Amino acid sequence: MTAPALEVGGVSVHYGDVLALDRVSLMLDAGQVCGLIGINGSGKSTLFKTIMGLVRPDSGTVRIDGGTPSTARRAGLVGYVPQSEDVDWDFPISVRDVVMMGRYGRMGITRRPRGQDRDAVDSALERVELTAFAERQIGQLSGGQRKRAFVARGIAQGAGLLLLDEPFAGVDRRSEQTISRLLAELAADGRTVLVSTHDLAALPRLAERSIMLATRVLMHAPTAEVLRPENLARAFGLDPAEGAA
């Protein structure tokens, strides 16, 4: 039996006196897209940071592919798609250069790209259908294309675990569907995808299973079940129709 792609065991995180995560445990098998929902301040970002090793938990453990987060990072297993507001879209860098940054962990000390790196970047760009936009400055892409560029970076990196923080914010419905389809394909290849989102209406298309977080894990179940009104009421105090507005 192989190790789960991601295993979080009893993780608690404090910021000063504030409890951000309370004994969070969850397990993701390889080859699935998992949604992560919860109100602002429910700990979604902290959970991502803990998985990536940016925040050290006060207690509990994180295992990625059976190894420690730092081993997983050095092996290039963890791909990260940042929130839009965390990116400087005026940065003078092309789409191709951003995707190439996924390869840096596998390159020599000066990060000079070799043939295999260029091939990986080309095929990742093709995979997310951005080949024609490769030479554009990153800010000259639409909201959905920007997200796909960062997903391509994770693909070029060869990441087995992709973490996406609010990929649907500022993205139109058609792009949202394109991204959901892309993530499903990546999962079918054996990758594991964890996506935080506020967009409850998008969730059934996106993920078969979802996690509802409110400092602790309220539910980890099939998405349809998580989205039942009585369950949403526990986390949000509203129903899915309202949440989609």
Q: Say whether residue 94 binds another protein (CB under 8 A).
A: yes
In this chain, which stretch among 59-67, 82-90, 191-199, 203-211 interacts with another protein, using CB under 8 A? 82-90
List 63, 146, 147, 153, residue binding another protein (CB under 8 A): 153
Give the integer Cα–Cα distance in Å for 88 and 186. 27
Q: Say whether residue 93 binds another protein (CB under 8 A).
A: yes
Q: Say whether residue 240 binds another protein (CB under 8 A).
A: no
Determine which helix (DSSP H) or strand (DSSP E) holds 81, and give its type and residue range.
strand 78-81
- 113 near 188, Cβ under 8 Å? no
Helix then strand then coil, in percent of the chain rounded to 5, is: 40, 25, 35
Q: Say whether residue 97 binds another protein (CB under 8 A).
A: yes
Contacts of 62 (CB under 8 A, 6+ apart): 6, 7, 8, 9, 11, 50, 51, 53, 68, 69
Give the integer Cα–Cα distance in Å for 71 and 59. 19
In this chain, which stretch among 73-81, 177-185, 194-202, 231-239 interacts with another protein, using CB under 8 A? 73-81
List 54, 188, 224, 241, residue binding another protein (CB under 8 A): 54
Residues that bind another protein (CB under 8 A): 52-54, 70, 73-76, 78-80, 82, 86-88, 91-94, 97-98, 101-102, 104-105, 109-112, 137, 153, 157
